[in-house]
Amino acid sequence: MNIDFGFVIPYLPILFKAAGMTIIITVLSQAIGTVLGFFFALARMSNIPVLRGVVWTYVLIFRGTPMLLHLFYIYYAAPAVGITLEPFTAAIVAMSLSTTAYNCEILRAGLQAVPRGQIEAAQAVGMTWPRILRTIVIPQALRVIIVPYMTNFISHTKGSSLASVITVPELMLTAQMIYSSTYRAIEILTAAGAIYLILTSALSMVQLWLERWLRYDERGLSRRRRRQLLLIERHG
C-alpha cells in the first residue's frame, strides 16, 4: 500500500473535534488536580498528623498505580457499588484523581523550597498566614514549580489518550476508529501524533513564557507599577 497523506484531509475536521475533547478532558482534570493538589500540599505540610497521613497515603496510592487502572476502576468497577458514570465524567474523575497526586507533590516541593526566613520576615511585619502564603510564598514557589508542573501537564496531555479505553471520543479513540475502518494506520496515526505534538508544543511555549515572566528581577518594574509607586510622574 502506498502512503498518501492527502487521505487524511477529509478526516481533519473529525480529528480536530476529537482533539478538542482531548483538550477539554486534559485541561479540566488538570485544573481540578491543581486546586485539589494545592490543598493537599497544604494538608501535607500541616501540623495535624492525621491530615498529613491521609494525604501521604493518597499520593502513595494514586501516584503508585496506573492511570489506566483508575479509569477502569471508575468506569467499570464503580457501577458494582452503585456508582455509574458517563464515560466523560468517569474520565474527568479518574484523570483528576491521578494528576492531583502528582500536583500535590510538585506544589509541595515548591512551597517548601521557600526559605523559612522569608516567612519569618513576613511574620515579623505582622502578616497573617493566608497573606504570607499569597504575597510571599506562592510567588516565590512559582519559580520552582513551573518546570515540573508543566512537565506533568504535558505528560498528562499524552496520558489523556488512555481515556480512549472507556470510550471517550478523544483523539486516540477517534484515530483508532478511522484507521480500523480505512486501514490507513500510518497516515491517521501520524496525523494524530502531529496533533498531540502541537498541543504539547503549545504547553512548552506557555512554559517558556511563564519562565520569562517569572524573571522579575531581570525585567524590572513595569511602567505602570513605577507610576503606582510614585517612582515616575503620573504622566511621565
Smallest separation (angstroms) from another protein to the CB of 208: 19
Tell me how far, at minimum, the Cβ of 137 lies from another protein, in Å.
10
- Quote the CA–CA distance of 236 and 231 in Å, as a whole number: 10
**Dist. CA 9–CA 122, nearest whole Å:** 58
Give least dist CB 222 to another protein, A: 10
Rounded to the nearest whole angstrom, what is the least distance from the CB of residue 219 to another protein in the complex?
9
| C-alpha Rg value of the chain to the nearest Å | 22
Among positions 127-146, residues that touch another protein (CB under 8 A) are 127-129, 131, 135-136, 139-140
**Letter for the amino acid at 79?**
P
226 makes contact with another protein (CB under 8 A): yes
- Number of residues in contact with another protein, rule: CB under 8 A? 27
Eight-state DSSP code of residue 127: -
Between 13 and 220, CB nearer to another protein: 220
Task: Select the residue interacting with another protein from 49, 64, 220, 236 (CB under 8 A).
Answer: 220
> Which stretches does DSSP call E strand in the chain?
none
| CA distance readout (Å), 196 to 60, 119, 201 | 29, 41, 8
Residue among 42 and 177 whose Cβ is closer to another protein: 42
Closer CB to another protein, residue 8 or residue 136? Answer: 136
Q: Which DSSP category does 164 fall into?
A: G
Supply the DSSP symbol for 183: -
Q: Residue 48, interface with another protein (CB under 8 A)?
A: no
**Residue 50 neighbours by CB under 8 Å, 6+ apart:** none
The verdict on 121 binding another protein (CB under 8 A) reads yes
The mark string for 81-120 relative to another protein (x by CB under 8 A, - otherwise) is ----------------------------------x-xx-x
Contacts for 143 with CB less than 8 Å, ≥ 6 apart? 110, 214
The interface mask with another protein, positions 143-172, x = CB under 8 A, is ------------------------------
**CA-CA distance, 117 to 131, in Å (whole number)?**
16
210 binds another protein (CB under 8 A): no
Residue whose cell numbers read 493537599: 40
Q: Does 8 bind another protein (CB under 8 A)?
A: no
Q: Does 202 bind another protein (CB under 8 A)?
A: no
231 lies in the site for another protein, by CB under 8 A: yes
Euclidean distance between CA atoms 174 and 14, whole angstroms: 8
Q: Can you tell me the distance from the alpha carbon of 59 to that of 105, in angstroms, rounded to the nearest whole number?
A: 8
Interaction site with another protein (CB under 8 A)? 115, 117-118, 120-129, 131, 135-136, 139-140, 216-217, 220-221, 226, 228-231
